[in-house]
Amino acid sequence: MNPLRLFLLFCWLLTAFAKRTRGYFRLSGVNTEKVLSSFVVGPKGGRLTVRLGIDNPYPNDQHLKFRIYNDTVWSKFQKATICTDKIKYAMTTADLSFVVKGTGPLAPKGGKWQAVKTINLADPNDEATKIDTPRYYYFVVDDCSLEQYLQDGAVPNMYYEITTWNYYGNDKARKTTQMSYDEGHLLLVHEWSCILGLVILLWLVSNVVFRVARKKNKRTVHAAALWITVAAALDCLSSLCEVGHLEMYHYNGYGNYALDCLATQLEAVCDALIVLFLLSIGNGWTLPSDVISSSGSTVQHLLQDVAKPLSGVMRLNATGIASGLVIVWHMGLAQWGRTYNDDFDTYHSYSHLPGKILMMSRVGLGLLFLGSCMQTGYQTKVPSLKQFYGVLGFLGCIWFQGLPVITFVCNWMLPFHWQYPAVFWASATLQICMIFLLAWLVTWQNSSYHQYSHMSATREERLGESLASMSSQPREWSVMGKAKVRFD
């Protein structure tokens, strides 16, 4: 068995009573339709089952309809202002008739009256509905008569549960999955992200252990190495949680909300740590003061504070508070995005308001980072460091600006069913590449940057270093006996 999937044995027990795609709604003269869900169906077709439950009779349920729309007409549906105009674009319409099934208040198992429908989607044997390319399908319940008759007080609260499947495999051994067609790649990407992230994490951990455990030289490790080790661990754990969620989603159609939410928050914190690390390095963190000239301006003093992030956190100055706000900002936007829709298509494509705010934040922080690199490169006295900060600014901007640009281009140019896969692949690639580059930065010792940086394990041992001075020696924090952590 794949080692990653052993993790699911415990997670499966936690989801024995998890929910499917379900909820409550109530139609009215103002809100005559309710969009229940969306799903991408492949060329082999699929099916759905929708179930509604009520505890009080529905007035004139012959007007209550279940309709299916696809992505070719969905924008027209959204632009239409009244119910009778919207339903003109429906691909499939089905009646919903309630029958008595039981008693008791609305609950996960229904209500006194229930209506159930099972419908085939894009049946490859039906010339009228079969498709050659994946399509988004949207599922809507409506009652257009509510626009004409004042019956809002008589319309009961309704419980709904909708389950969708995709078919795959050959016609003789056709199988089903509850994964949307555009989400079939997710498990593979997260598994590879987890494996690559684990390799990088082991590389970082071994480097830290080597520096702390060595006997001949000074047992020190820079806080920057620990910083990136934590970021790599968060990214790896996020992918592992998502693998667990997706494995269960494949079979039960809802996965594990706690795992999915945890994966989202871990990735948000990882992003925030990378942002703060890049801004700190871009402003000259780990470099001694004698290799960077100071103009004495207010802006320069502010940059000096940013170049000492851990000192700012310990003193709770403006830089430390701003660092905490960056982390809270990323976590808040991630959770806000989940309130729009738990489906992958809206959260990961950043098509909602919090996603757009996050993309604008990335653009703004990327410009701030580029300006910091240019400023530090201009003020350094060492030519080789000027080149280093030029390369750092370029690579950092690719990470900062890459995701907003890719998101905009994909949402503008690609079909609906390719938007999310393209954005997800790009974001996963950018993330793992940046973590790899930062891991190289905190572990490699032979670059021009490390000749002057406090991050180097041997810098203080080179007595011939022309630019070293007593005033630029880094602060250290003793941990585990003789081992020390540098944080300036």
- Mean predicted confidence (pLDDT) in 447-457: 71
Using a 10 angstrom Cβ sphere, with 0-12 exposed, 13-18 middle and 19 or more buried, the burial of residue 1 is exposed
> Is the pLDDT assigned to residue 141 strictly greater than 90?
yes
Which residue would you say has higher pLDDT here, 60 or 341? 60
- Mean predicted confidence (pLDDT) in 52-58: 88
The pLDDT tens digits of the residues spanning 346-379 come to 445 577 788 889 999 999 999 999 988 888 888 8
Query: Edge to edge, what strands does the sheet with 220-222 contain?
Result: 220-222, 484-486, 476-478
The pLDDT tens digits of the residues spanning 379-428 come to 887 888 888 889 999 999 999 999 899 888 887 888 777 777 788 888 88
Distance CA 45, CA 358 (A): 35
pLDDT at 99: 84
pLDDT at 297: 44
- Mean predicted confidence (pLDDT) in 131-146: 90
Confidence of residue 473 (pLDDT cuts 50, 70, 90): very low
- CA geometry: angle 448, 207, 466, nearest 5 deg: 30
> Is the pLDDT assigned to residue 143 strictly greater than 80?
yes
> Is the pLDDT assigned to residue 228 strictly greater than 80?
yes
Confidence of residue 481 (pLDDT cuts 50, 70, 90): low
> Is the pLDDT assigned to residue 323 strictly greater than 60?
yes
The pLDDT tens digits of the residues spanning 161-206 come to 888 888 876 665 567 777 777 777 777 888 899 999 999 999 999 9
Contact 136/130 with Cβ under 8 angstroms? no
Using a 10 angstrom Cβ sphere, with 0-12 exposed, 13-18 middle and 19 or more buried, the burial of residue 378 is exposed
Q: What is the pTM of this model?
A: 0.74
Confidence of residue 476 (pLDDT cuts 50, 70, 90): low
